[in-house]
Amino acid sequence: MIPKHFSCLSTGDYWPYLTSFKNAPSPLSQGLRHVWGHRFPGSALYPTPTGRHALWYFLETLEFQGGDEVLIAAYNFYIIVRILLQKGLKPVFVDVDPETLCMDPADLTNKVSKKSRLVVVTHMFGNPANMVEIETICQQNDLWLFEDCAHAVGTLCNQEQVGQSGDGALFSFGIQKLVNSFGGGMLVLSENLAPKFELPPHSIPKLASFSDTFMRALTSILMTPSLYGITLHQLQKAINRFEDRLPKIKAIIDPAKDNPEYRFYNLERAPYKSFMTEMHRLQLARLNENINRRREIVMTIKHELQDIADISVLYEDKYGHSNYSYFGIYVPDPHALSHFLAQNGIDSCSQEYYDCASLEQFSSFYSKCENAHYASHHILRLPSYPCLRDSEVEKIFKTIKLWFTNHVC
Ligand SMILES: *Cc1c(COP(=O)(O)O)cnc(C)c1O
């Protein structure tokens, strides 16, 4: 089975984690600056337990009033919207550019009101959003700007790492992300906000902290493609059967995509640990090489599929340089094609994100976002990880071609 995601970690990448049990931990924030600092010359960096913690802390540094509005792209990870609601903020959904899946500045302008305070931009799939226009709109309307860079390590706008256009940004180092340190996140703050901010202490019981990180390390090992067919896939099948008994593992491998019960709980995750920074250092050393390989894979598959009229593709580099961390194409029926790919040994995702504006749980904030709605029903996410072999890339496009030969619309 070709998984839809693999961090391409080698044995050496696990070393910082394995040796962290005997070495004394090093000071945290200093380490982050050392490894990440040159990408963020003018910003302050803080280690956080997860990416969503970074958003939570960011929201806590600002002063809001009841009814304040936050503009956010409708095609999105529902958790971000839930966090806004939990903070008493009102989400206002903005449509996306169908070529990048990121916030459309024209619709942002339409939706700005007197109550707007903050814009949350996601560099969806690692594709840079149109930051030039979004920044201008924020300045003209006196809005704070926060960037969700969970997919966007190595994504560039104006040749610069994204995450430094506005007041803050989040990064995530979970097991499904481009840089994987078995959890952990990073808050980026602008020079103006940093003096007002103090990183809250975070501690949970030792055993809980150990097992939270350990489960993620273990899952990463199980996601190695050579093991994938026999382990994770079967594990996932078994887990789906015993969902109620194994909610924790299930939540790591296959997190919920639309859970109205979700509440952010500060202490449910292990703190950021210093071995994580060392893992980042190892993975960042080959970031450019990996992004180039991802681009090559995406370009090859797009090129091979260009004659299929029923497929349309994204324009990932429209506003900068994408890192291609996720690779999506538009197809008429992503669920049917995903099922066919699975039968042929290729994992894919037919429902990466939803149009949050149309979700039942956010129905009181409904607004019509046609492009987000279309993406939610038609985007199919395919594997694009850098250690995919050429023969596997070929298998992916050939299997898709086969499907369309048999299903001419
Ligand atoms: C993963 C992710 C996050 C949050 O990251 P965590 O570390 O899981 O909290 C935020 N936004 C998007 C788009 C993500 O994919």
Testing ligand 1's pocket by substitution, the residue of 146, 162, 172, 272 carrying the most ligand atoms inside 8 A of its CB is 172
Residue 176 CA to ligand 1 center (angstroms) comes to: 9
Check pocket membership of 325 for ligand 1, CB cut-off 6 A.
no
What pLDDT shows up at residue 150?
98
Q: Are strands 156-157 and 160-161 parallel, antiparallel or unpaired?
A: antiparallel
- The pLDDT confidence band at residue 408, using thresholds 50, 70 and 90, is low
Please give the Cα distance from 369 to 306 (Å, whole number): 27
- The pLDDT confidence band at residue 225, using thresholds 50, 70 and 90, is confident
CB 347 within 8 A of CB 383: yes
**Relative to the CA of 50, which ligand 1 atom is closest?**
7
> What's the pLDDT tens digit per position in 235-290?
667 666 666 656 666 677 778 899 999 999 999 999 999 999 999 999 999 999 99
The span from the first CA to the last CA of the chain, in angstroms, equals 28
Query: ∠ CA(360), CA(365), CA(366), 5° rounding?
Result: 70
Residue 51 CA to ligand 1 center (angstroms) comes to: 5
Mapped onto helix, strand or coil, the DSSP state of residue 171 is: strand
Residue 8 CA to ligand 1 center (angstroms) comes to: 19
What pLDDT shows up at residue 250?
67
> What's the pLDDT tens digit per position in 115-126?
999 999 999 999
**Relative to the CA of 353, which ligand 1 atom is closest?**
13
Please give the Cα distance from 201 to 401 (Å, whole number): 53
Check pocket membership of 80 for ligand 1, CB cut-off 6 A.
yes
What pLDDT shows up at residue 228?
60
Residue 106 CA to ligand 1 center (angstroms) comes to: 26
Please give the Cα distance from 371 to 389 (Å, whole number): 33
Mapped onto helix, strand or coil, the DSSP state of residue 327 is: strand
Percentage of residues of the chain with pLDDT beyond 90: 81
Check pocket membership of 172 for ligand 1, CB cut-off 6 A.
yes
Check pocket membership of 3 for ligand 1, CB cut-off 6 A.
no
Between 27 and 53, the more confident residue is: 53
Q: Per-residue pLDDT for 409 more than 60?
A: no
The first and second tokens of residue 302, run together, are 């797009």
> In whole angstroms, how far apart are CA 273 and each of 8, 52, 145, 235, 285?
21, 16, 28, 28, 20
What pLDDT shows up at residue 381?
98
**Relative to the CA of 183, which ligand 1 atom is closest?**
7
- Whose CA is closest to atom 14 on ligand 1? 150
> What's the pLDDT tens digit per position in 288-334?
999 999 999 999 999 999 999 999 999 999 999 999 999 999 999 99
- Whose CA is closest to atom 6 on ligand 1? 51
Residue 96 CA to ligand 1 center (angstroms) comes to: 18
What pLDDT shows up at residue 245?
58
Please give the Cα distance from 92 to 87 (Å, whole number): 14
- The closest of 382, 368, 375, 359 to 78, measured between CA atoms, is 359
Testing ligand 1's pocket by substitution, the residue of 79, 123, 272 carrying the most ligand atoms inside 8 A of its CB is 79
Q: Per-residue pLDDT for 105 more than 90?
A: yes
The region that residue 263 occupies, defined by phi over 0 for left and psi between -120 and 50 for alpha, beta otherwise, is beta
- pTM, two decimals, is 0.95
What pLDDT shows up at residue 407?
83
Residue 309 CA to ligand 1 center (angstroms) comes to: 33
Average pLDDT, the chain: 93
The first and second tokens of residue 375, run together, are 């993406």
- The pLDDT confidence band at residue 165, using thresholds 50, 70 and 90, is very high
Percentage of residues of the chain with pLDDT beyond 70: 92
> What's the pLDDT tens digit per position in 333-348?
999 999 999 999 999 9
The first and second tokens of residue 348, run together, are 């894919």
**Relative to the CA of 54, which ligand 1 atom is closest?**
9
Q: Are strands 168-172 and 185-189 parallel, antiparallel or unpaired?
A: antiparallel
Residue 172 CA to ligand 1 center (angstroms) comes to: 6
Please give the Cα distance from 156 to 128 (Å, whole number): 7
Partners of residue 156 on adjacent β-strands = 161, 321
CB 6 within 8 A of CB 290: no
What pLDDT shows up at residue 22?
77
- Which phi and psi (to 5°) does residue 363 adopt? -65, -25
Check pocket membership of 50 for ligand 1, CB cut-off 6 A.
yes
Q: What is the mean pLDDT of residues 78-88?
A: 97
Residue 149 CA to ligand 1 center (angstroms) comes to: 8
